Amino acid sequence: MFPERRRRLINAAVVTCRIVAAFLVFSWVPTRQPVLSAKNATQATSPAEPFDTASFGRELSRLKSDLETARKSAASLRAYRDSLPKAWTVKAGEQEFEVSTSPLTSRLTHAEKEPAVRELQLDQARDFLDALALEASSASSTPTADLPSAKTKLARILAGSEFASRRQQSWWDRLRERINRIIFDAFVRLLNRVGGQKSMGEVLLWLGVCLAAVLIAYWIFRRWFRAARMAEMALQSAGVPTRSWQQWVFASRAAAAQGDYRVAIHCAYWAGIARLEELGAVSADRAKTPREYLRTLTKSKLLVSETQATRYQALSMLTSRLEKIWYGYHVATEADFLESLTQLEILGCHLP
């Protein structure tokens, strides 16, 4: 019986301790919360003075310390959140900033209403305060600009010899600079007025830049192609060596003897051109195309009309055969070569 009685006494003592502990907890919360609320009410009713960077850093340090105390219960977090203003006003030098507290209060609200993520949200709130303190510290360490001293230094730099040409600008340079500035300002005003939107002005600006780039690229490629075409014409004219018609006929027969009738017909054509140049019917210009030689022959005044007609027909046949075989890569035969020799005799080449 004694052990059973002792067990009952122990259970009764445990229950009594629990009741006393619960009474102490509930009696402690009401005594602490009104004090915090009163403090918050005092802060809410007091006028908000702008912080400088140093005092703002101290305020953030205090809020971080109070956050560690307020994380013990949801009621403390609510009181801590209610004590925060909507924004802090921070003055750094001549500039004044509004720092919103919404990132901090939103995390405190989640921590208050969702116990499962309370620690995570409170850690993020503490990191937010640390980030603000770091920004305030960097802003306080940034030196303020001394405008009079800067102007003095600028005047001293511009007085140097390397800027003498700038000071000694001619009236034409000053006029051109003024015109450029007027055009630039007008362009900026035009972009600002388009649609009343800055984005539209930027779009038009980039479209203008792209159009200018396309035009420049077109101009460059056009010059390249023109230069390449002129070089090709020069190479073509240099590719046909200056020979007498007898030498061209000899080269033509030598190629035909080797079975290369394509080269033989090519040489036969130039033998006819060389003979016409010797007669003065066409001018010696290797840059001309075969069709241009034909048009030149029709304008020749050194040949009688009957001779000019027959020689034009012979040169026309030589030209057609050359275009098909030399440029068109048609198969050349011995018959084509013999016909070319016949046209050469009509053009005035006396073949042995």
Look up residue 224 and give its amino acid.
Answer: W
Give dist(CA 92, CA 57) in Å, integer.
Answer: 12
Q: 310 with 347: CB under 8 angstroms?
A: no
Question: Which residue reads 């750094």 in tokens?
Answer: 92
Give dist(CA 113, CA 105) in Å, integer.
Answer: 12
Q: Which long-range contacts (CB under 8 A, 24 or more apart) does 166-175 make?
A: none
Residue 306's pLDDT is what?
Answer: 61
Give 98's DSSP letter: E
Give 299's DSSP letter: T
Using alpha carbons, select from 245, 263, 254, 255 the residue that is nearest to residue 348.
245
Specify the DSSP element, H or E, that contains 95. strand 95-100
**All residues at 6 or more sequence positions from 256 whose CB lies less than 8 Å from its CB, including other chains:** 264, 334, 337
Give dist(CA 76, CA 66) in Å, integer.
Answer: 10
* Residue ranges of the chain with per-residue pLDDT less than 70: 1-48, 139-148, 158-169, 187-188, 190-202, 229-241, 300-306
Q: 108 with 121: CB under 8 angstroms?
A: yes
Residue 258's pLDDT is what?
Answer: 93
Dihedral sign, Cα of residue 84, residue 62, residue 136, residue 51: positive
Residue 94's pLDDT is what?
Answer: 73
Give me the residue spans of the domains in the chain: 47-141, 170-239, 241-347
Q: What is the pTM of this model?
A: 0.35
Residue 262's pLDDT is what?
Answer: 93
Structure-block tokens of residue 312: 């034009």
- Complete edge-to-edge strand list for the sheet that includes strand 95-100: 51-52, 87-92, 95-100
Q: 76 with 36: CB under 8 angstroms?
A: yes
Give dist(CA 167, CA 288) in Å, integer.
Answer: 58
Question: In 90-102, which positions are buried (b, 16+ CB within 10 angstroms) versus exposed (e)?
Answer: bebeeeebebebe
Q: 268 with 254: CB under 8 angstroms?
A: no
Residue 36's pLDDT is what?
Answer: 34
